[in-house]
Amino acid sequence: MTLYDLVDLARRFRPKRRPSIRPTAAMVYTGTFLLSVLSFFTTYYGLKIIVPTPLAMIGSLGLQSAMLGIAWNLMKIKSNRIPYLLVFSLAASFSIFFSYANFNSGLKAHTRAEQARAGYADAARPVLNSYATEAKKALARGVYQVQRLGQLYDIEQTKGWATMIDEGSSDPVIQDVIDGARRTVDSWRANQGTDYRQGAGVGIISNYIATWKRTAERNVEIVSAYARHIDSLSMSLSMADPVADQAEIVTDAMVAFPMASVVMILGGEQPLLIDPPSPASYPELPVNNQHALMLVLGDLLEMDHLTAFSLLFAFVIDFIVIVMALAGSLMSDNVDFVMNRVERDGLRRIRRLKIDNPAELEESLHQNLQRVRIAGRYGVELQSAINDFASKKKKIELRRGSESVDDAWPDQPPMMSSVSEGETVDERESVTRW
């Protein structure tokens, strides 16, 4: 048998239809598909960060289809694989990145909220401390003013010397009250046309001082109440609370601050207060898609354990999908592996074979013609034998000898024996060779 006959037999007996996939291969394909569905959803939720839902759905489906389709058929691609590998690499990169974005956003949702709350609490505490410091500073001075005005009132009541005292720079407010009492006396003299006799007892000076004393007491009462309030607010500020609740505490402290009373106690001096932090500067959740994308990219630059785990998890999922898809492709391709090797080897040998040798061509034609002649002769003799046995009403049995067909043909024809209707197997006629 020539090499042409081998190649022809290989092609002829090649299965027309692939055999059914083995259970192992079916399980590999099923697992690959399920993991690809998982990767589809992780990529989809990652894409939703920057694009609308319909576009995220289409993009995720396209990426997974490209990855799975190329991986399943990569082993069967016989031509240049570089374009397919390039498309596969781009699809896998996008799938891994957006899966990472999904995992990173989910794992860090609670962490980002805690960081935002802690950051706002750290920024809010100095503000509350500044309010409390200014209030207590004004309270201490207000208490001194109440006490000092009480002393001046007592001096004026007993001795009439209130206007004879200068407070100086120790407390400008008390000095203003003393100067105001003096101006009140001057105004009385101008209006009455007579001199005012200052002495013990109740008079315009004691009444003036008493009025300021009541105002100072009222200011101290207001500032003291605010000091207690700011202390309670400072204690209630906790980083465990949402930023909105913390901002409400700071706003309450700012609105309730007794600015008028403090300024009056400080003699017109403005307290040094820190501006409250803006809640918008400490978002617990991304405010928009751009902000969410910047957070995801920023985490890549500031790698921590959660970011590293998110990136590794996204890579492992897609890597497993790729490996399982390639394994399934290889398993399905192995069905025709042997026949493909035989055919390729045969074709390679045929291309190298020199068929222009006249002696080889003549020998091949002579063998084929000889086989045709022998087959024709056997056919005529077989038909004659069949007719002869049929006329004698005997049964015909054709038996194949122990030799192979190639050994028996053309020199040895098939063996034939006959058994009559009344004969047993033991009485069978001897086998006749032709």
pLDDT of 216-249, one tens digit each? 999 999 999 999 999 999 998 888 889 999 999 9
Is residue 195 assigned to a domain? yes
Q: Are residues 270 and 176 in the same domain?
A: yes
Q: Which pLDDT does position 50 carry in this prediction? A: 83
More confident of the two residues 255 and 169: 255
Q: Are residues 220 and 250 in the same domain?
A: yes
What whole-number distance in Å separates Cα of residue 87 and Cα of residue 63?
Answer: 10
Q: Are residues 65 and 156 in the same domain?
A: no
Q: Are residues 95 and 235 in the same domain?
A: no
Is residue 71 assigned to a domain? yes
Q: Are residues 293 and 383 in the same domain?
A: no
Q: Are residues 372 and 331 in the same domain?
A: no
Percent of the chain exceeding pLDDT 90 equals 17
More confident of the two residues 21 and 80: 80
Q: Are residues 249 and 222 in the same domain?
A: yes
Is residue 381 assigned to a domain? yes
Is residue 410 over pLDDT 50? Answer: no
pLDDT digits (tens, 9 = 90+) for 103-155: 888 888 888 888 889 999 999 999 999 999 999 999 999 999 999 899 888 88
> Looking at residues 341-367, what average pLDDT do you find?
60
> Looking at residues 81-92, what average pLDDT do you find?
82
Q: Are residues 191 and 246 in the same domain?
A: yes
Q: Are residues 319 and 411 in the same domain?
A: no
Q: Which two tokens stand for residue 81?
A: 């694989």
Q: Which pLDDT does position 424 carry in this prediction? A: 41
Q: Are residues 142 and 175 in the same domain?
A: yes
Listed residues 281, 304, 322: the one ending a domain:
281
Is residue 353 assigned to a domain? no
Q: Which domain holds residue 381?
A: 359-419
Q: Are residues 393 and 302 in the same domain?
A: no
Write down the pTM of the prediction: 0.55
Is residue 354 assigned to a domain? no
Number of structural domains the chain divides into: 3
Is residue 242 assigned to a domain? yes
Is residue 11 assigned to a domain? yes
pLDDT interval class at 359 (50, 70, 90): low
Region for 166 from its dihedrals, namely left if φ exceeds 0, alpha if ψ lies in -120 to 50, beta otherwise: beta
